[in-house]
Structures are given as structure tokens and as C-alpha cells.
């Protein structure tokens, strides 16, 4: 047990810590089974900057009389310095890919963690009960669970007390307990209300702790992200593939950019470049530019908002192309495709697919042929946007449309989005975007309105900042997580190591405007840009007129099918016929009347019977 020496003698005032939000978490089964007055020790990480002097011979503690209190133990660690960047040897030809070493990350400094003593926790629990009773709320605190950043007090209200009444007292509880903030929320599945108060000494969560944790090492997740630690100090490892997209919001200084860095490093520590490729969009030109040159990038870090729009449109086209490949192979997702393709490569037997190559000019019937499929494995693609508000200002509709398509359909194709913004207003996080991002993370925000915009409920305005977050999973359940810290020096060391493992293979089509237009023209019926240029060619126009006069049908889709041309070109031909007086305007159901006598040079139909 560690005691804290304070400059003033202990009084009846509460022993407070930094303000904290309450992420109500279900109690552990062991703790729930403990009788009252029992003291339990569980392991917890050490504090980054201990300001505590341990007592030489602590006296035996008296038994707890009010609540069952779970106290963490103290852990000591050494703190080796990081190697200089120049000490990293470049990869020699023929060497296998080598993942970054954990030694590139800063180990938590050696020291002792400080946690409030049993008497201090009892004192706070009693004071908290009296504060609630002063506001007319009766009940009892049955458990106290200290953590690295906040302490959770589980309050069991008396019968007839409404939860909303206790939740509404969050600001009054913080004031009465001399805390910067307090978060109050119902603990799911239990008849208790969680009241979270910040600790006097806050522990820093280091990224290396999570990388070395058994949860991260043994996880079977393809795209594992280290989010941080729970209130009780347990690692939180999330699967990006199951989210399948992540929306991050928070004010400046709340830890949002550091969290983006930890997510990127989580992927780089587990996946090779051929397994996961990244597209990074950084309009601020500062946060993600350090990753330029790593072999995982599909394109250099995008800083121009206009090029960011092109990159998102490229991701949409890549998604559609992957869906076509998976459909031909008869699989449902990227994992099934890679497994089927790997099995075919091992056998050495090519897989043939029937592909439509066009239409026969005479009859308009579709043409098919057998083509050998490309069985190269498809890597995961993660699109990371560090500041979405700037993109929405430049091209809001285009960005929103591309994000909507990707968020709705890209999961099975192995394309995932991580989008962050520091302005969580409704014009940035629109209803369309929120509906397609069920998994969201909110760091500290300035108002309850911003918290409701992100999470649908208040609470994020009570967070402590510096990585303190609320994580809303797909089911809508919200948990409080303390994000890890990673310094710029650590990121530079990891990037320097990755640059020695190979050079990036950039795709110029990701952000090239001219290349995009060429791809769109090749798509035929879907992306046809040559409609205007066809105005001068009467040969195709005469063919369209013959089809209309012969079949007595005139619609854009009908001409498109018969002549094997794109939608835009067919629409242009129909408009030209209407202008020349061959067909009438479309009625309310889209049908047009055939008027063929008003054009002198109209080609004669093959049959004289035009009625």
C-alpha cells in the first residue's frame, strides 16, 4: 500500500483528481461476488510522473466498512532511451520484410504508481453520498473502482429515484466534490449508476504498453487498432474491419491527432505493405506528412483538397472493380477472394470468367468472351482523412457522395475509412455521414450540442482532454477509454525503419485528373464523356434515327442498348432528334411521340410501312 504525503492535513474535503467523465462499464464478475468490506488488489500500470513518497512501514489497513473497493497494484518499469534514427540499418537486397521493433517506442518511465489509499476512497465515497443526499437523492455507494485516470463510484439509488435525476446533477457533483468535471451514466445490466471523478494524479498511457499487451499480441483481428485503456486499466483493441468505418471528432488539443497516429502505427506493426495499403489525406499539411515515403502508401500524402476528392473517387472505382472480381469468383468478401485466389495459384490452374465485351452493331445483342482472371491478392485499403471540415468546405457534395458510397458498400471490398474532424458541427458531420459511420469516437468537445452531434447524447464535454475519449461501438453502447500517447520522435523512428524495408509503389491514377477521365471513358455505358464530340458525326446519328423509325421506340436506354454506346451519348442523340423534329418531348412517364416527317435529310426507314 502506498500513502500520499500532502502539504496540508487531511480534512473532510474530498480527495479529488482531474475531472473525468464516466464511462459506465459493467462490473467484473469477481468484484460483484465480493461481500461488502472486502479489499481486492488487481494489477494496474504505473504512473508516468509519480509525485509520491512511500511510507517506510505502512500500518495494516482497517477493513473497509462502506464499500467494496478494488485497488490496483504498483508496477515498476525501466526507461531505455530510443535509438538514433541514423542507427537503423537499411534493408539489404533479398532480405525479408521486417516489422518495426518495439524498442523504437518509448517505454514508460520507471516509477511507482499512486493510487488513493483505502481511507481516502472511503472518505470520498461518504462525502459523495452526503452530496447526493443534500440534493434529495438517497442511495448507497456499493463499489469504488480506481483506475489510471478516473475513479468509478457505483451508486445504487433508493427505490423510486429516477436515473435522469442523478445524471442531471453531474455539474453539481463536480462542484461539490471540488473536481473539474464529473460524468454520470447508467451501468448497463446493473442496478447502479456510475459516477466518474478524476484522480489527483493522472497516469499517462503509453503506446508500447498496448503493443506489448497479450490482447494485442494474441488477437485474431485483421486490422487491429490500439484505442487505449478502460477505466480499470484493461487494454482496448478494436477491429477496424468490423466497425467497418470510424469517425473521430474532438477539439484542438483533445488528443485527436495523436489517436490517429496510434491507429496508423497499430496497422504498421502488424501488416506488410502487400497486406494493407494506405491513402492519407492531410489538408493541414502537418500531421501526416511524416509518413511520406513508407512502402504502405498508395500515393504520396494528399494535401490538396481537390486531389483528395479525386482520391475518394478513385476508391469508389476500386471498390466497384473489386466487387466485379469477387462476383466472377463467386465469393462474398475480400478474405474469401484471397483464399480462393491463393488456392488457385497453388494448383497452377487459371480461373476463366465470362465477361461482356460489348454489343453487336447489327442486332445490338451483347457479346461475351472467356477471359483469364487476375489472381493476385487484394490488399486492404485504409483511407485516413485527418481534417474533414476543410474538405467539406471545398467540395461538400462530392465528398459526401463519395463517402456515402464507400461507407455503405466498401466493407466487403476491404476498403475502410478513418475520418477525423475538429469541428463537429452538423454541416461537417451531416446526417448522411452519421448514418453510415456507426462506430464513432469523441474526444473533448466544447458543448453538449457538439457531443450530441457526434454521439447522440451528452457527456463528451465533460472529458479531460489529452486522449480521454468516449468510444461508441456499432450497437450504440458508449464506453470511456483513455487513449495512449505516442511522441513525434517515436513516429519518426518507426517511419525511418519502414523506409529501409522498401520503396512505395505509387499509383498515379489515385490523384491524376487526366487519368480519371480516361478511366471514365473506358467504362463505356457508365462513364461516357464523348457525347458532345459525337455531335459532328452523322453516321452514328443516322443509325439511331433508323432504329427509332424502324422499331417505333425512342428512349435513351433503348438507343444505348441497340447501338452499344454510353448513356451520355445516347441522351445527346435523343435530344438532337427532338431538336430536329423527329421525336416529340418526353411525357410524364418518359415516352416520346415519333414525328418523322419534319426533317428533309432524315434517313428513310428500311420498310415503307411506318404506321
81 is in an annotated binding site: no
Produce one character per residue of 293-318: b if its CB has 16 or more CB atoms within 10 Å, e if not. ebbbbbbbbbbebebbbbbbbbbbbb
253 is in an annotated binding site: yes
251 is in an annotated binding site: yes
Distance CA 318, CA 46 (A): 46
- How many H-runs (helices) and E-runs (strands) does the chain carry? 17, 17
Distance CA 292, CA 302 (A): 10
Grouping H, G, I as helix, E, B as strand and the rest as coil, residue 97 is coil
255 is in an annotated binding site: yes
Three-state DSSP string of 521-563: HHCCCCCCCCCHHHHHCHHHHHHHHHHHHHHCCCCHHHHHHHH
- Give kind and range of the element (H or E) at residue 229: strand 224-229
Q: How many Å separate Cα 534 from the centre of its chain? A: 44
254 is in an annotated binding site: yes
Distance CA 367, CA 359 (A): 5
Distance CA 170, CA 184 (A): 6
Distance CA 117, CA 119 (A): 5
Burial of 509 (0-12, 13-18, 19+ CB in 10 A): middle
Distance CA 259, CA 471 (A): 12
Q: With CA atoms as reference, report the closest residue to 353 among 339, 333, 373, 334.
A: 373
446 is in an annotated binding site: no
Which residues, including other chains, have CB under 8 Å from residue 397's CB and lie 6 or more apart? none
Distance CA 191, CA 241 (A): 34
Do 409 and 213 touch, CB atoms closer than 8 A?
no
Do 419 and 248 touch, CB atoms closer than 8 A?
yes
Distance CA 116, CA 64 (A): 14
> End-to-end alpha-carbon separation of the chain, Å?
101
Q: Residue for cell digits 523512428?
A: 493
Residue 584: how many CB atoms within 10 A of its CB? Answer: 14
257 is in an annotated binding site: yes
Residue 418: how many CB atoms within 10 A of its CB? Answer: 24
Distance CA 69, CA 95 (A): 53
Grouping H, G, I as helix, E, B as strand and the rest as coil, residue 384 is strand
Residue 120: how many CB atoms within 10 A of its CB? Answer: 18
Determine the Cα angle at 517 with ends 280 and 393, to 5°. Answer: 45
Which residues does the annotation place in the binding site?
250-257
Question: Which residues are known binding-site members for ATP?
Answer: 250-257
Amino acid at each position: 500500500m502506498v500513502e500520499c504525503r500532502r502539504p496540508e492535513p487531511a480534512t473532510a474535503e474530498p480527495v479529488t483528481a482531474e475531472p473525468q467523465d464516466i464511462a459506465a462499464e459493467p462490473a467484473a464478475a469477481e468484484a460483484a461476488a465480493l461481500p461488502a468490506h472486502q479489499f481486492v488488489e488487481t494489477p494496474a500500470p504505473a504512473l508516468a510522473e509519480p509525485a509520491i513518497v512511500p511510507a517506510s512501514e505502512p500500518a495494516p489497513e482497517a477493513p473497509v466498512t462502506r464499500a467494496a473497493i478494488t485497488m490496483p497494484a504498483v508496477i515498476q518499469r525501466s526507461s531505455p532511451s530510443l535509438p538514433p534514427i541514423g542507427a537503423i540499418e537499411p534493408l539489404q537486397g533479398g532480405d525479408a520484410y521486417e516489422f518495426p521493433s518495439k524498442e523504437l517506442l518509448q517505454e514508460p518511465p520507471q516509477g511507482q504508481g499512486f493510487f488513493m489509499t483505502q481511507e481516502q476512497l472511503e472518505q470520498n465515497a461518504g462525502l459523495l453520498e452526503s452530496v447526493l443526499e443534500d440534493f434529495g437523492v438517497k442511495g448507497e455507494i456499493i463499489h469504488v473502482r480506481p483506475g489510471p485516470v478516473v475513479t468509478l463510484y457505483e451508486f445504487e439509488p433508493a427505490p423510486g429515484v429516477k436515473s435522469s435525476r442523478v445524471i442531471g446533477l453531474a455539474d453539481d457533483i463536480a462542484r461539490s466534490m471540488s473536481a473539474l468535471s464529473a460524468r454520470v451514466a447508467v451501468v448497463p445490466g446493473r442496478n447502479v449508476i456510475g459516477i466518474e471523478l478524476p484522480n489527483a494524479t493522472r497516469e499517462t498511457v503509453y503506446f508500447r504498453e498496448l503493443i506489448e499487451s497479450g490482447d494485442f499480441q494474441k488477437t485474431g483481428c485483421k486490422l487491429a487498432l490500439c484505442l487505449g485503456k478502460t477505466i480499470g486499466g484493461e487494454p482496448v483493441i478494436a477491429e477496424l474491419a468490423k466497425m467497418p468505418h470510424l469517425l473521430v471528432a474532438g477539439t484542438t488539443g483533445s488528443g485527436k491527432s495523436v489517436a490517429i497516429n496510434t491507429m496508423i502505427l497499430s496497422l504498421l506493426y502488424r501488416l506488410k505493405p502487400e497486406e494493407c495499403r494506405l491513402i492519407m489525406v492531410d489538408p493541414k499539411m502537418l500531421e501526416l506528412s511524416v509518413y511520406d515515403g513508407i512502402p504502405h502508401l498508395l500515393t504520396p500524402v494528399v494535401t490538396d483538397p481537390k486531389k483528395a476528392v479525386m482520391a475518394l473517387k478513385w476508391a469508389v472505382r476500386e471498390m466497384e472493380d473489386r466487387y466485379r472480381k469477387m462476383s466472377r469468383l463467386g465469393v462474398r468478401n475480400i478474405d474469401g477472394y484471397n483464399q480462393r485466389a491463393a488456392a488457385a495459384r497453388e494448383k497452377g490452374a487459371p480461373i476463366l470468367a465470362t465477361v461482356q465485351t460489348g454489343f453487336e452493331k447489327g442486332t445490338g445483342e451483347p457479346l461475351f468472351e472467356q477471359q483469364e482472371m487476375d489472381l493476385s491478392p487484394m490488399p486492404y485499403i485504409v483511407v485516413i482523412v485527418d481534417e474533414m471540415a476543410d474538405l467539406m468546405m471545398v467540395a461538400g457534395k462530392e465528398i459526401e457522395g463519395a463517402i456515402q458510397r464507400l461507407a455503405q458498400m466498401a466493407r466487403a471490398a476491404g476498403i475502410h475509412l478513418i475520418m477525423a474532424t475538429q469541428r463537429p458541427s452538423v454541416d461537417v458531420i451531416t446526417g448522411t455521414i452519421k448514418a453510415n459511420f456507426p462506430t464513432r469516437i469523441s474526444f473533448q468537445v466544447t458543448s453538449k450540442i457538439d457531443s450530441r452531434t457526434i454521439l447522440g447524447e451528452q457527456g463528451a464535454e465533460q472529458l479531460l482532454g489529452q486522449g480521454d475519449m468516449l468510444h461508441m461501438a456499432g450497437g450504440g453502447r458508449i464506453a470511456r477509454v483513455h487513449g495512449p500517447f505516442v511522441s513525434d520522435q517515436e513516429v519518426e523512428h518507426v517511419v525511418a525503419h519502414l523506409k529501409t524495408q522498401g520503396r512505395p509503389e505509387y499509383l498515379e491514377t489515385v490523384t491524376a485528373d487526366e487519368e480519371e477521365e480516361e478511366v471514365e471513358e473506358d467504362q463505356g455505358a457508365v462513364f461516357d464523356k464523348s457525347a458532345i464530340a459525337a455531335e459532328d458525326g452523322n453516321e452514328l446519328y443516322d443509325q439511331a434515327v433508323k432504329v427509332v423509325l424502324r422499331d417505333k421506340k425512342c428512349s435513351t436506354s433503348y438507343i444505348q442498348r441497340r447501338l452499344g454506346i454510353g448513356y451520355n451519348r445516347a441522351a445527346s442523340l435523343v435530344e438532337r432528334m427532338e431538336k430536329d423534329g423527329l421525336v416529340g418531348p418526353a411525357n410524364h412517364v418518359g415516352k416520346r411521340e415519333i414525328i418523322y416527317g419534319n426533317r428533309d435529310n432524315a434517313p428513310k426507314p428500311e420498310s415503307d410501312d411506318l404506321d
